[in-house]
Structure 1
Amino acid sequence: MQDKRETLLPGQRAKARGALENATGRYEGSTRTAFDDGWEMAETDRLIKTEVRAEVARSAITYNTSPDIPFDRSINPYRGCEHGCIYCFARPTHAYLNLSPGLDFETRLIARPGLGKVLERELRAKSYAVDVIAIGTNTDPYQPCEAEWRVMREVVQVLSDFNHPLAIVTKGTLIERDLDLLAPMAAKGLLRVGVSVTTLDPALSRKMEPRAPAPARRLQVIRRLVAAGVPVRAMVAPVVPGLTDHELEPLLQAVADAGASGASYISLRLPMEVSPLFQDWLAEHFPDRAAKVMGRVRELHGGKDYDARWGHRFRGQGIWADLMRQRFAKAAARLGLLRDMPPLRRDLFQPPPRAGHQFTLF
């Protein structure tokens, strides 16, 4: 594990951040190490701040052929995520930008303004075949910078105009802002939302997901979405063995009480750079449990930190994986959370008339 002091200047603070270091991305040809040059750091430079830069998007929809996920297309309004969840499996994608999966992932973000227009062009293509678009499967579309950049709002507006089916995953409260668009989509059978709830312990959440809404606030989001007629599936993800797995039943009870229609879970995943980042975090915050947590993680993944094989990566294997499946199935069945969500409608899809088109005059 890398010493965090190698990538932070003396006196520099990463307040309310998940990662403890900022190791050079794996695709860069050289390694950069922070050092004290003798000049005193200005007070304004001591705190690592969030930077958001704009990207001109050339495409909106990303397609995949993964056999173990229920969608074949998705949209990412942002690259990186300020929530700073230390366990986030998307962290390694920041290396593609020549940025670190560590602190860069949560402090150097990329917004994609104008994405709605690009999406509209793709949806109007004669070759386009409608199917559910998933948003939030990589980074959270309702992370804090959405309040200013409103890229997700652009995308939802286009999908609403086209009557296009949409599945959203988020732990952000900003989704409530868009209920004027989302509630009518839900009423037409075009929308479902997954809300991620990892723990009920606000102190643990603050350490593990430092800039994400507190657990009680996420439960409130579920209540407000359900009250607006939006079907919600609670996502207990990730379940961290030895740290949050004991909360599985109370979590399911809490989301059921909040009105969730269904629930699912995913075990902790530590691909590539996520593993050393998570282990550094464990050693810093839970040194007494670090060995136990990582030992259990490796039992789930055949002795490795992570097993990326299709069908294994989300739940793991072995006795602990079987026990978790049994506990989840029993609790979810008792609470009525094993119901399948109704399929989203595809038959309503219709490109709206273009602005200025002659048919709009009649």
Structure 2
Amino acid sequence: QLAYAIASNPAVALGRNGTLLAYGSVTEPFMDVSKERSFEYLSTVAKLLGNPIQLSTKAYLSSEDVSRLKELVGYGSFLVTIISLSMSRLLEPNAPSPDRRFETIGNLRKAGFHTCLFLRPLLPGIGLNEFREILEKAYGFGVCGVVLGSLRVTKGIIDRLRAAGYPGLGEILDRIPRNPSGGEQVTIRSSDLKQRVAEIAKDLGIEIYPSACAASIAAHGLGCWACRFGPCGDKEAIPDFEPADLIELARRFKLKIHSLRIEEPKVFLKVDGDIRMVKRFKEFVKALIKRELVIG
């Protein structure tokens, strides 16, 4: 059913050079209650669709778990989240210890999976020495790279951090550009913190990926220049395309292209048609040609 739902989505491009599929951004895929179902889903999607697969996890994956993943999906991009050593029990009371997650990195690397440390969110209040220790340990377990990410807060997140007694809350509040209202997410100012942690990673010889999808692109031997972070991966692997193919593809979405201009890495289009179909067309084409589409 999951594979069918993905395949029937008109915004999803199928196949190895198609849409990047990411699992674990909403919920942990390898909790005890969901692990078997996740194995089932991943196996089906890998066999029937063949799209690049990326998994984010905080779980402990044993050698046996990783062997099953190797058998079911063959290859993929893994992001293992570790955001603190000293405050892991305070911040992630239900997650496996950081040591167990470092073991997950090691098990995945032994099986040949492209595995990155997911340092997201970077939390103000965690010292640079602790970030260095996290990166050094990850490096020791063979990590392929690191993805750094800023903290996004809601009113509820602030309340939970306050209730937990997180000592860095004051600095977080100092970095918020505005107070979030309702369920609104606000990204804190953290470019300086990102830069300092990136310098530590660089000193250790760890590849720094600007985004999760950049890690997936590299893991699967692809190339992409669809956003400001590009080019990512193998620039030579960015797909070629013919303008006539985009015009024909637009017709399948019941759209009409009035003008098309290519200024690498951007493609400028003037399109007429239903706004919902335009959005689907844009996502489909961006995934297919791995370039930024500017539609007017």
User: Given the two structures, how large is their TM-score scaled by the length of structure 2?
Assistant: 0.61
Shift of 1:174: 4.0
Q: 1:139 aligns with which of 12, 27, 36?
A: 27
Distance 2:202 2:221 in 1: 26
Q: Which runs of 4+ in 1 moved over 6 A?
A: none
- Measure the CA separation in 2 of the matches of 1:156 and 1:175: 17
Q: CA RMSD in A?
A: 2.9
Alignment pair present for 1:344 and 2:229 = no
Q: 1:208 to 1:126 in 2, by over 3 A?
A: closer
- Structure-2 separation of matches of 1:294 and 1:126: 41
Question: C-alpha distance in 2, partners of 1:267/1:140?
Answer: 20
Does residue 299 of the first structure (1) align with residue 184 of the second (2)? Answer: no
- Taking the aligned partners of 2:7 and 2:96, their CA distance within structure 1 comes to 36
CA 280–212 in structure 1, closer or farther in 2 if over 3 Å, else same: same
Asked whether the equivalents of residues 236 and 251 of structure 1 are also in contact (C-alpha less than 8 Å), the reply is no
**Counterpart mapping for 1:18-57 below 5 A:** none
Shift of 1:153: 1.4
1:154-193 correspondence runs (5 A): 154-162=40-48, 163-174=50-61, 176-183=63-70, 190-193=75-78
State the one-letter code of the partner of 2:41: V
Deviations 1:8-60 (A, max 9, x none): xxxxxxxxxxxxxxxxxxxxxxxxxxxxxxxxxxxxxxxxxxxxxxxxxxxxx
Q: Contact 2:43/2:73 (CA < 8 Å) preserved in 1? A: no
- Equivalent position of 1:256 in the other structure: 139
Secondary structure, counterpart of 2:28 in structure 1: coil
* Other-structure match for 1:196: 81
> Residue 264 and residue 124 in structure 1: after superposition, are their counterparts in 2 closer, same or farther (change >3 A)?
closer
Query: Greater share of helix residues, 1 or 2?
Result: 2
Matched residue of 2:155: which SS?
coil
The 3 A distance-change label for structure 1 pair 277 and 200 is closer
Give the strand-richer structure, 1 or 2. Answer: 2
**Distance in 1, Cα, partners of 2:132 & 2:180:** 26
- Structure 2 vs 1, CA of residues 121 and 175 (structure 1 numbering), >3 Å: closer, same or farther? farther
Specify which of 194, 219, 237 is matched with residue 120 of structure 2: 237
Q: How far apart, CA to CA, are the structure 1 residues paired with 2:124 and 2:20?
A: 32
Q: Which amino acid aligns with 2:45?
A: L
Aligned with 1:193: secondary structure? strand
Q: Does 1:227 align with 2:110?
A: yes
Supply the AA of the counterpart residue of 1:154. E
Give the superposition deviation at 1:268: 3.2
| Identity fraction in percent | 22
**Distance of aligned partners of 1:237 and 1:166 in 2 relative to their CA distance in 1, 3 Å threshold:** same
Give the CA deviation at 1:241.
1.5
Structure 1: 5+ residue stretches without partners: 1-117, 348-362
Look up the equivalent residue of 2:67 and give its one-letter code.
D
* Alignment check: 8 A CA contact 1:135 1:168 kept: yes
Is there any run of 5+ residues in structure 2 with no aligned partner, and where? 210-214, 223-236, 238-296
Change (3 A) 1:305 1:298: farther
Distance 1:186 1:304, change over 3 A: same
Equivalent residues, number: 208
Post-superposition CA distance 1:304-350 (Å, at most 9, x none): 369846xxx2xx32xxx243122122111112222554153689xxx
